[in-house]
Structure 1
Amino acid sequence: MPLNPTVVEVTERIIKRSAPTRRRYLDRMAKAKSDGPARAHLSCSGQAHAFAAAGEDQARLAGANTGNLGIVTAYNDMLSAHQPFERYPTLIRDAIRADGGTAQVAGGVPAMCDGVTQGEAGMELSLFSRDVIALAAGVALSHNTFDAAVYLGVCDKIVPGLIIAAQSFGHIPSVFLPAGPMTSGLPNDEKAKVRQRFAAGEATREELLKAEMAAYHGPGTCTFYGTANTNQMLMEFMGLHLPGASFVNPNTNLRDALTIEGAKRALSLSALGNHYTPVCDVLDEKAYVNGIIGLNATGGSTNLLIHLIAMARAGGILLDWEDFSDLSEITPLIARVYPNGLADVNQFHAAGGLGFMIGQLLNAGLLHDDTRTVSGEGLESYTYEPKLTDAGLTWTPGTGTSLNTGILRPATEPFQETGGLARLVGKLGTGVMKISAVAPEHRIVEAPARVFHDQDEVKAAFKAGEFTDDVVIVVRFQGPKANGMPELHSLTPLLGILQGRGQKVALVTDGRMSGASGKVPSAIHVCPEALDGGPIAQVQDGDIIRVDAEAGALEILTEGVLERPHATADLSDNHWGVGRDMFTAFRNTVGSANTGATVFGEF
């Protein structure tokens, strides 16, 4: 199938826009490649320090003629998604040693859980943690002793941060090793109903806790389709996972076999072998277009509208929200996973999963099939699924038909003709909206504004019974420069209650919503942010705002708003406590959401 003309046009536009920065990046990577395996250049003292604790591997490491694999891990056992990584270094070391190579844990990176910090002060460090992760991974690899690397990470900011670091060391082949989703617990829609009942005062805290613990009950990634699982989808669409690796449950034989094979594959792609495939050659403009198509086709997390831009910039590639919007217009939504449907990711995987989706999108001419991947083959190899037989790990053709059309549909019979994301532009600025879970009748809201400077004020107004009519709730001074751009997901239950009462309701904010944002239309990531002089700082209570996801509009209909002085806010309480005082430099240097909200300049 020939490529869709819009895919061709957007790809060429990105290539042209990125040409100077991409060229500089690739020149740097070419120089790094020419230096050869790094540890051979270390001084004798440097080598002795690097190999001192390697035990039986010391001789191999000193010989410098066998591959040394660096492991960058986000392990901690507070995150369910990352707890399975505790076992990975041993699995990897033993497997690589059996193949004649060596593996060392290069370093660890932090990994926080947005689910724990939702509505808490710690959420104001969440977005910045992505760039901290990139910095920490950079420190880990700076010892220059590795021929290839594997990255152990899953959740919201961790994978994007690791990608940024991997591209900084883009001459090194890299494979990402996931942990997989936890087994299914309490259905996500039932959990959401308990949350709404609690927000309305109809359920006790004990009932809420019981429901939450029944949903989040074991090791592995949360089973809804939020940012963590969107990350896993991207790693397959962009060729950095082994085919079919994303949604295999933790602590299973197949999961272990994929982990071992992924580590071996990483070393096989090093400059010491015959199939040198550095990550800078995998993550090109076409790979990012494939990722954006996957994001739209699955109705993925809005957080990736920030992260993908930051990730791409680390490789000299300049993405724009217009690219996402244009690709959304020609991408069919072919998956329904909670909060866009009732299924969880385990059910999605069982119905055909990513292999079925990639096959459908390739056949529809919506994906570049000639990208380089860690599988050693093109994207077509990602339509295959892993099997563990008596003969070992193998890949066989995946299903060509959906096993549950309520979860997955062919590209010719989609849930909707366009993707799950919309770009909104107007007098209020530029924002984005996840529309895959928003019913068509709720996608246009025109109503008076109620303006707040933090989410606690919104909750207080709700409890006081102040939202009795149609309303556009504006929550400003939530951008990256103001307070680190926290997610406002804790507003979701009360917004859902208002919508359920028959009110027209929308959210407009320069902050973020969770990757699990759902049925209430939310214009988020609004740029410029209030602290940067954006029009959102000129809105007052009662101004008429129109949020129109169908037309892509974010408008102020009241006259004279843009002639008003900009509101100010006392943000001093957001700049200390729970570690926030240590991030002043981040708040002072961070870029806007539409450029990735990153503290890094050009790489």
Structure 2
Amino acid sequence: MTARREIEAVTERIRLRSKAAREAYLARIDAAAGETVHRAALSCGNLAHGFAACQAADKAALSGDRVPNLGIVTAYNDMLSAHQPFEPFPQLIKKAAHEAGGVAQVAGGVPAMCDGVTQGQPGMELSLFSRDVIAMSAAIGLSHNMFDAAVFLGVCDKIVPGLVIAALSFGHLPAVFIPAGPMTSGLPNDEKARIRQLYAEGKVGRDALLEAESKSYHGPGTCTFYGTANSNQMLMEMMGLHTPGSSFVNPNTPLRDALTREAARRALAITALGNAYTPVGRMIDERSVVNGIVGLNATGGSTNHTLHLIAMAASAGIAITWQDIADISAAVPLMARVYPNGLADVNHFHAAGGLGFLIRELCAEGYLHADVRTVWGEGLEAYAVEAVLGPDGTVERRPAPEKSGDEKVLAPAGKAFQPSGGIRVLDGNLGHAIIKVSAVKPEHRVVEAPAAIFHDQAELQAAFKEGRLDRDVVAVVRFQGPRANGMPELHRLTPPLGVLQDRGHKVALVTDGRMSGASGKVPAAIHVTPEALDGGALALLRDGDTVRVDAVAGRLEALVEPAEWAARTPAVADLSAHHAGFGRELFAGFRQLARRADQGAGAFGDAA
């Protein structure tokens, strides 16, 4: 089965653009496969250090080169709800490995920070760069050269992209990603958003806000809205890095544990020591990346992946662009309505048929490359299933339901919510930007209004509280790019801007920072590049300039006379307060090396 012409066209131009980098990458991982998957190549001293802490049977097994050893890379910590469920996973994996005739060791841990904790706080300015730290941390663990395959335990925003970059850097090894699952449903997301807006207006106090937040984020597992964390899980399944049907099973359930054991066994089954060798660097190709982009748009996923997908693909020698993402968005229908693109949460999506239903529909309509390789074998159609617990405690799979359990949450392709995915590229004299309109009502998709300029999100919040923004306004928050202050999310601006919109004003946000996987009803032109600190035109804007954000025509413009525009000198900002404290001084090198947002906004990784 071939994909639709529009999907094939984007895939082919990615393939041609990436040809030289991809060939060099494949040559490198092929050479690594010939050199490093046999522990017998290690000296006796190397090997003795590598299994010194193992039990006697594992030492004996690892002394040769015929028993596969599985490296576990974990993002476990017990502060964050999404990663706390990983605590027992290494023991589950080790037991499953022994039963399958292999060995498993924890290769290393990686940091996992939560943007929900750091929103609006200094720590948010480390958030994006934590992706690169995670990639490097995982690489250090795998560099001991003890492993025939690896499993990766991670869920949230920067963790999964960082782990994918590391996995592809060790592309000669098979890699299976093992999720922990979402927390059970709590306070409905629309009610949480309502309380946030009331708090922003001063109509309820902190006690009411904390009570609402605590009822929403109430237990172990991923947050239930469809932000970057749950978009990550969708991507891993769409790209064939999960076992089928495993993304959205709740933590601490028998099925979750059975899926974890099964993933460990599958990772051992696809090493070079068997007959189904599946090195992740060859498994993930241009078609896999395009499938991920299709899934992102079909589900209304996180805008953060317009950064992460570029960085992830580059690690495999594949060069994608914002235009690739936008062109796929234009061709792919929006089939899911999960908050902030609807009222449902990810548990409702899963119950309605979830990714199994979605993948079957997308494959049947030619939106996906169904003939890709996955960790499960050949073909993505094997993922058009629902995973259930069998009578013997193992995983069984049955075909995804023929009909959606709730077409208000998950629609068939023929009844899609809109004909396009909603991620668009804006161009104009202010630069290039990303906008996500799947949650923005059509009447709010074009905003032309005077600019209010801020160099810090706290300045905007103060202006709102003082009543200075109670009008039509394009709020411009600049000097928020990766080179300026690490490109923080500005999600705390959603409630005040939402209040202004609800009052009947025309409102938009323009920023060289990030918004969030939870971008919502206010149009937001984000990731503006070049950023203000790096010669971007945002630095030329002045308070009161008329700015047009046009998500229909794809324009981002300052309506200023060309002669006046050309004569302006860029504004400057004192960013010293953002460069020290809370560890930010340790990331000075990352800020200096950071690439543009449309190049992935990382400190390394270039497939071009």
TM-score by length of 2: 0.98
Which residue is 1:550 aligned to? 552
Which residue is 2:402 aligned to? 400
Which residue is 1:184 aligned to? 185
Which residue is 1:563 aligned to? 567
Which residue is 2:15 aligned to? 15
- Structure 1: which amino acid aligns with 2:237? E
Provide, for residues 477-530 of structure 1, a one-character-per-residue CA deviation record: whole Å limited to 9, x for no partner. Answer: 000000000000000000000000000000000000011010000000000000
The total of aligned residue pairs comes to: 603
Structure 2 distance, partners of 1:118, 1:376, is 40
- Structure 2: which amino acid aligns with 1:411? A
- 1:52 deviates by 0.6
- 1:64 deviates by 2.4
Alpha carbons 1:538, 1:562 under 8 Å: kept: no
Alpha carbons 1:300, 1:420 under 8 Å: kept: no
Structure 1 distance, partners of 2:555, 2:413, is 27
- 1:413 deviates by 1.1
Structure 2 distance, partners of 1:38, 1:192, is 54
- Structure 2: which amino acid aligns with 1:187? P
Alpha carbons 2:36, 2:145 under 8 Å: kept: no
Q: Does 1:584 align with 2:585?
A: no
Provide, for residues 274-319 of structure 1, a one-character-per-residue CA deviation record: whole Å limited to 9, x for no partner. Answer: 0000101221000000000100111100000000000001111000
Which residue is 1:50 aligned to? 50
Structure 2 distance, partners of 1:387, 1:268, is 22
1:348-367 alignment runs, 5 A limit: 348-367=349-368
Structure 2 distance, partners of 1:322, 1:556, is 22
Which residue is 2:539 aligned to? 537
Structure 2 distance, partners of 1:426, 1:360, is 36
- 1:558 deviates by 1.6
Gapped runs of 5+ residues in structure 1? Answer: none
Alpha carbons 2:478, 2:513 under 8 Å: kept: yes
Structure 2 distance, partners of 1:64, 1:300, is 43
Which residue is 2:335 aligned to? 334
Worse-superposed segment, 127-136 or 54-63: 54-63
Which residue is 2:440 aligned to? 438
Q: Secondary structure at the match of 1:423?
A: strand
Provide, for residues 122-143 of structure 1, a one-character-per-residue CA deviation record: whole Å limited to 9, x for no partner. Answer: 0000000000000000000000
1:426-575 alignment runs, 5 A limit: 426-559=428-561, 560-575=564-579
Q: Secondary structure at the match of 1:206?
A: helix
Q: Does 1:344 align with 2:345?
A: yes
Q: Secondary structure at the match of 2:433?
A: strand
Alpha carbons 2:304, 2:516 under 8 Å: kept: yes
Q: Secondary structure at the match of 1:394?
A: strand
Q: What RMSD over aligned residues (CA atoms) do the two structures have, in Å? A: 0.9
Structure 2 distance, partners of 1:88, 1:583, is 32
- 1:468 deviates by 2.3
Which residue is 2:241 aligned to? 240
Which residue is 1:425 aligned to? 427
Alpha carbons 1:36, 1:271 under 8 Å: kept: no
1:73-92 alignment runs, 5 A limit: 73-92=74-93
1:131-150 alignment runs, 5 A limit: 131-150=132-151
Q: Secondary structure at the match of 1:412?
A: helix
2:602 aligned to which of 592, 598, 601: 598
Alpha carbons 2:311, 2:605 under 8 Å: kept: no
Provide, for residues 24-46 of structure 1, a one-character-per-residue CA deviation record: whole Å limited to 9, x for no partner. Answer: 10000110112252322111011
Structure 2 distance, partners of 1:238, 1:59, is 36
Structure 2 distance, partners of 1:226, 1:563, is 41
Structure 1 distance, partners of 2:357, 2:282, is 26
Structure 2 distance, partners of 1:11, 1:103, is 37
Provide, for residues 353-394 of structure 1, a one-character-per-residue CA deviation record: whole Å limited to 9, x for no partner. Answer: 011111111111110011100111310011011121114322
Structure 2 distance, partners of 1:575, 1:400, is 54
Which residue is 1:265 aligned to? 266
Alpha carbons 1:359, 1:400 under 8 Å: kept: no
Alpha carbons 1:96, 1:103 under 8 Å: kept: yes
Structure 2 distance, partners of 1:94, 1:602, is 39
Structure 1 distance, partners of 2:45, 2:247, is 41
Alpha carbons 1:535, 1:562 under 8 Å: kept: no
Worse-superposed segment, 520-529 or 29-38: 29-38
Which residue is 1:4 aligned to? 4
The 1:365/1:601 distance shift into structure 2, 3 A limit, reads closer
1:203-352 alignment runs, 5 A limit: 203-352=204-353
The 1:498/1:85 distance shift into structure 2, 3 A limit, reads same
Which residue is 2:115 aligned to? 114
Worse-superposed segment, 420-429 or 305-314: 420-429
Q: Secondary structure at the match of 1:35?
A: helix
Structure 2 distance, partners of 1:526, 1:100, is 52
- Structure 2: which amino acid aligns with 1:332? P
Identity of aligned residues (%): 63
Structure 1 distance, partners of 2:467, 2:37, is 66
Gapped runs of 5+ residues in structure 2? Answer: none
Structure 2 distance, partners of 1:202, 1:126, is 31
Worse-superposed segment, 39-48 or 123-132: 39-48
After TM superposition, what 4+ stretches of structure 1 lie above 6 angstroms from structure 2? none
- 1:2 deviates by 4.6
Which residue is 2:416 aligned to? 414
Structure 2 distance, partners of 1:569, 1:537, is 9
- 1:557 deviates by 1.1
Worse-superposed segment, 213-222 or 395-404: 395-404
Which residue is 1:35 aligned to? 35
Provide, for residues 109-134 of structure 1, a one-character-per-residue CA deviation record: whole Å limited to 9, x for no partner. Answer: 00000000000000000000000000
Provide, for residues 49-97 of structure 1, a one-character-per-residue CA deviation record: whole Å limited to 9, x for no partner. Answer: 1111001311111122100000000000111000000000000001111
Structure 1 distance, partners of 2:605, 2:220, is 37
- Structure 2: which amino acid aligns with 1:597? A
Structure 1 distance, partners of 2:567, 2:255, is 62
Alpha carbons 1:431, 1:523 under 8 Å: kept: yes
- 1:347 deviates by 0.4
1:155-174 alignment runs, 5 A limit: 155-174=156-175
